[in-house]
Every structure is written in structure tokens, then in C-alpha cells.
Amino acid sequence: MTTNDFRPSKEPSVFYPPQRVLMGPGPSDTHSRVLSAMARPTLGHLDPVFTEMMEELKSLLRYSFQTNNLMTFPVSGPGSVGMEMCFVNMIVPGDKVVVCRNGVFGARMIENVERHGGIAVVVDDKWGEPVDPQKVEDALKQNPDTKILAFVHAETSTGVLSDAKLLCEIARRHDCLTIADTVTSLGGSPIYVDEWGIDAIYSGSQKCLSCPPGLSPVSFSERVTDLVKNRKEKVHSWFMDLNLLLGYWGTTRTYHHTAPTNALYGLHESLLMLYEEGLDHSWARHKRNYSALKAGLETFGMEYVVEEQYRLPQLNAVHVPAGIDEKEVRRRLLEQYNLEIGAGLGDFAGKIWRFGLMGYSSRVENILLCLNALETVFSDMGMKLEQGAAESAAHRNYADNPMPSSSSD
Ligand SMILES: *Cc1c(COP(=O)(O)O)cnc(C)c1O
């Protein structure tokens, strides 16, 4: 045996990814400012210059979440780790958790509850519909020993927004803690953690924050940190134990794990860009671009999955037109236009597309590219369409909905 026996069978080479336009359910396009931030010199994770940046990163996250929670920081791991972190810290085996399921991610919450020894009381709503507050109220009445209410604010599998404020109000009335999944909503739709009284919240870097995947911003109220501090049983995860992480992300700065320094520069830059733009402007921009995309898609006769009032501007789930090979459309968009859109999940597989307009992907040039590319692909596949109608509809829509005046586009 020599080391050469383990050589790759195909000669390896440098990987140059193509320049795609990402209009699926995440990741979204990353701004060059974020990419260059990540290419800056690597620092030690305990370097005082780095820890100063961590403090600023936490304050930018507090702005994005609209909270004063001290325990607000990015977890090293994708959104799923942020999700697991909430459940593993807050659940002691035997705890009852009411979980709202109206899509893929609510179902994952149930998995989390059960794997950590909790008892899940499931409140089901149809895919494409928001969580029904009355059902939640009824479930909490029937289960007065419930400790936590968990729900997905923006369900990425269907493009529906649930009323987080009202759900938190109901939970509070029943003396329950709340866990909110805001992976797709943070930066794209209004979130007011303190005002709404969300106890535990997690998000992801690669959706409306437009940073590469791999980090999960989280924030915990004092009620949660007290609960975790006073647990008799150790948290069933060493890596995700809030009490231990507090040592690193808090003031003592003791080594816990090696933070992904360069990835954190990227998140810092993307949060800085969101701060410079302003949350209100970002929310309005997401709405405006949704409205223009919708106007264009309607010229193809395409219909949305979700009723207008509950729609997420950053995730447009639409039915595939009858007689169209949905996979072939996505293949052509990717090959001919470098444009990625999302397919349906679960019951919606093969039936819908998901157009993501998240963060930096939510901009005029992307809407126009997408509509023009679709028009050509549909025409090539035999659909009879009036040339340029989709783009014109979008332009008219933009003219009718000027952006409220503010700093950037
Ligand atoms: C994307 C997503 C997740 C999972 O995030 P990952 O970064 O893929 O682990 C969780 N919840 C929702 C609502 C999401 O959209």
C-alpha cells in the first residue's frame, strides 16, 4: 500500500461555482459585500478584536429581532441547529408541548419534541393555511399542564404567514412559553420579539439575511434563561447547552467551541446592510417585489397556494400550470438562465413551484429576469403567450407602487 492507492479516481481540480440567481426557498443571493467580508483574515476566536466584533454582531441581531434580550447570538450551525437548541434546552422529559403543524417545519418541531422526551400535542392546519388561533386556544384549554407553545411564523413549504403576535398572547394567557421559527421571516416580514413576548426564537443566515448558510441567530427571554439555569437535569446536549454557550457568547469568553470566525464576519456584514437599509424599508421592499412578481405570474394564469392576506412576500408558492412538466421548467431555467427556483415539498411535490424573493434576491432585476425566462421557457414548451406581457405587468405594478422614500434600493 502507498498513499497513491487512495488517490481520487478522477483528477481533482479547483471548484468554480457558476454565478446563479437564487430564487428558491433559500439560500438566497449573497451580496458581494458579504462575500468579501468572509474573505478577510482569519482571527483567533478569543482575539479581543474578534470578540469586539461579536458584541457588535449581537447588537445588530437585537435590532433585527427587535429585542433587548441579552441572550441573542448566532449558533454555529444551520437553522435546524437553532431549532434543536430551543427544544433541547427548554424540554425536560415529560413536558407537554403544543406544536402547530401546517407544513414541513411544524412537523420537524414535533420530531424535536419527541426526541427530547417531550409530549407533543399537535394542532393541525391544512398546508397553505395559517395556524388557526382558535384551535391553539382550545388545545391549551384542554391541556392546562402545557409548558410550551411552538409554531412556525413563516412556513417555507407553503408560503404562509401565521399571526405570531396573537399566538404569543394566547400562550401568555395560558402561562406557556413560546418557541417561534422565524427562519424565513427574519428580515423579510415584521418581527417584534419583545413587543410580542416571544420567549425563544431562531432563524437562519441564508434566507432573508442573505448570508451563506451555516449560522442560526437565536434569542431567549429571561424566562427561558432562568428556566435553563434552574434545570435539575443537565441539558441533553453538550454542544447546545445554553448554560455553557453563555460562557463564550457572554462576558467571560471562555473557550467552548471554535467559532466559525469568517462565517461570522459575513453575518456581521449582512446584518450591517440590513441595519443600513432599515427594517421597515426591507419589509416594504419585499412586499413591493412580491407584488410585481405576482402581477407577472398572473399573466401566465398562475395561481397562488395561499390566500392573499396570509401570503409571505418572500416566498411565493404557486400552482404549476396544467399540462406543464414542472421539473423540465426548473431544469431549463437553471441551464439556460442560471436561475434557481424551488420545487414543492411533501404533498406539494410536483404540484407547485416556490419563488423565493429573500433578502438580496428580492430586487427588481431578478423579478424581470424570472418573468422573461419563464415566458420564453413556457413558449418553447407550447404555451400561447402574448410576448412581453409579464414584464409589462411587472413594470406597471412597480409604477403603481413606488417605494416609500428611504436610503437604499
Ligand atoms: C430553511 C428552514 C429551516 C431549516 O433551516 P436550515 O438552515 O436548512 O437548517 C427551518 N425552518 C424554516 C421555516 C425554514 O424555512
Burial class (CB in 10 A: 0-12, 13-18, 19+), 292: buried
Atom of ligand 1 lying closest to residue 80 CA: 9
Instruction: Verify whether ligand 1 is closer than 6 Å to residue 112 (CB atom).
Output: no
Nearest 5°: CA angle at 279, between 409 and 169?
Answer: 150
Domain coverage including residue 381: 278-400
Q: What is the pLDDT of residues 194-239, one digit of tens each?
A: 999 999 999 999 999 999 999 999 999 999 999 999 999 999 999 9
Sign of CA dihedral 189, 158, 263, 112: positive
Model confidence at 173, pLDDT cuts 50, 70, 90, reads very high
Same domain, 69 and 117: yes
Of 275, 303, 336, which one is at a domain's C-terminal end?
275
Distances (CA, A) of 142 to 89, 122, 139, 174, 225: 25, 12, 5, 11, 28
Same domain, 114 and 219: yes
Model confidence at 404, pLDDT cuts 50, 70, 90, reads confident
How big is the chain by its Cα radius of gyration, in Å? Answer: 22
Identity of the residue numbered 52: E
Q: Residue whose CA is closest, atom 5 of ligand 1?
A: 79
Query: What percent of the chain clears pLDDT 90, i.e. is strictly above it?
Result: 95
- Half-sphere exposure (Cβ direction) of 348: Cα atoms closer than 13 Å: 24
Q: Is residue 86 part of a domain?
A: yes
Of 228, 252, 275, which one is at a domain's C-terminal end?
275
Cα 311 from Cα 129, distance rounded (Å): 9
Q: Residue whose CA is closest, atom 12 of ligand 1?
A: 183
Q: Is residue 95 part of a domain?
A: yes
- Mean per-residue pLDDT of the chain: 96
Same domain, 268 and 297: no
Contact between residue 188 and residue 361 where contact means Cβ atoms under 8 Å apart:
no
Q: Is residue 13 part of a domain?
A: no
Burial class (CB in 10 A: 0-12, 13-18, 19+), 407: exposed
Same domain, 261 and 396: no
Average pLDDT of the segment spanning 243-262: 91
Instruction: Verify whether ligand 1 is closer than 6 Å to residue 26 (CB atom).
Output: yes
Residue 407 has pLDDT above 70, yes or no: no
- For residue 251, the model assigns a pLDDT of 80
For residue 353, the surrounding DSSP H or E stretch is: strand 352-356
Same domain, 173 and 305: no
Model confidence at 403, pLDDT cuts 50, 70, 90, reads confident
Distance between Cα 78 and ligand 1 center (Å)? 8
Q: What is the pLDDT of residues 262-296, one digit of tens each?
A: 999 999 999 999 999 999 999 999 999 999 999 99
Q: Is residue 408 part of a domain?
A: no
Instruction: Verify whether ligand 1 is closer than 6 Å to residue 314 (CB atom).
Output: no
Q: What is the pLDDT of residues 106-154, one digit of tens each?
A: 999 999 999 999 999 999 999 999 999 999 999 999 999 999 999 999 9
Q: Which residues contact 264 (CB under 8 A, 6 or more apart)?
A: 53, 54, 57, 74, 215
Number of domains comprising the chain: 2
Residue 406 has pLDDT above 70, yes or no: no
Same domain, 211 and 333: no
Q: Is residue 14 part of a domain?
A: no
Same domain, 147 and 268: yes
- Strand arrangement of the beta sheet that strand 119-124 belongs to: 71-76, 215-220, 200-202, 177-181, 148-152, 96-101, 119-124
Identity of the residue numbered 127: W
Angle of helix 133-142 relative to helix 164-173, nearest 10 degrees, comes to 20
Instruction: Verify whether ligand 1 is closer than 6 Å to residue 212 (CB atom).
Output: no
Distance between Cα 181 and ligand 1 center (Å)? 8
Instruction: Verify whether ligand 1 is closer than 6 Å to residue 184 (CB atom).
Output: yes
Q: Residue whose CA is closest, atom 14 of ligand 1?
A: 183
Cα 289 from Cα 315, distance rounded (Å): 11
Average pLDDT of the segment spanning 320-342: 97
Closest CA to 294 of 371, 205, 385, 380: 371
Q: Is residue 22 part of a domain?
A: no
Instruction: Verify whether ligand 1 is closer than 6 Å to residue 30 (CB atom).
Output: no
Distance between Cα 157 and ligand 1 center (Å)? 10
Q: Where are the beta strands (DSSP E) in 66-162?
A: 71-76, 96-101, 119-124, 148-152, 154-155, 160-161
Instruction: Verify whether ligand 1 is closer than 6 Å to residue 79 (CB atom).
Output: yes
Query: What percent of the chain clears pLDDT 70, i.e. is strictly above it?
Result: 99
Question: Which position has the grid cell 402547530?
Answer: 100
Same domain, 62 and 175: yes
Residue 151 phi, psi dihedral angles, 5° rounding? -150, 160
- For residue 145, the model assigns a pLDDT of 98
Nearest 5°: CA angle at 91, between 154 and 246?
Answer: 85
Instruction: Verify whether ligand 1 is closer than 6 Å to residue 156 (CB atom).
Output: yes
CATH of the domain at 87: 3.40.640.10
Same domain, 175 and 284: no
Same domain, 245 and 294: no
Same domain, 164 and 52: yes
Residue 292 phi, psi dihedral angles, 5° rounding? -70, -40
Q: Is residue 405 part of a domain?
A: no
CATH of the domain at 380: 3.90.1150.10
Question: Which position has the grid cell 405570531?
Answer: 164
Of 253, 275, 297, which one is at a domain's C-terminal end?
275
Distance between Cα 390 and ligand 1 center (Å)? 31
- For residue 384, the model assigns a pLDDT of 94
Q: Is residue 231 part of a domain?
A: yes
Closest CA to 197 of 224, 173, 226, 165: 165
Same domain, 307 and 394: yes
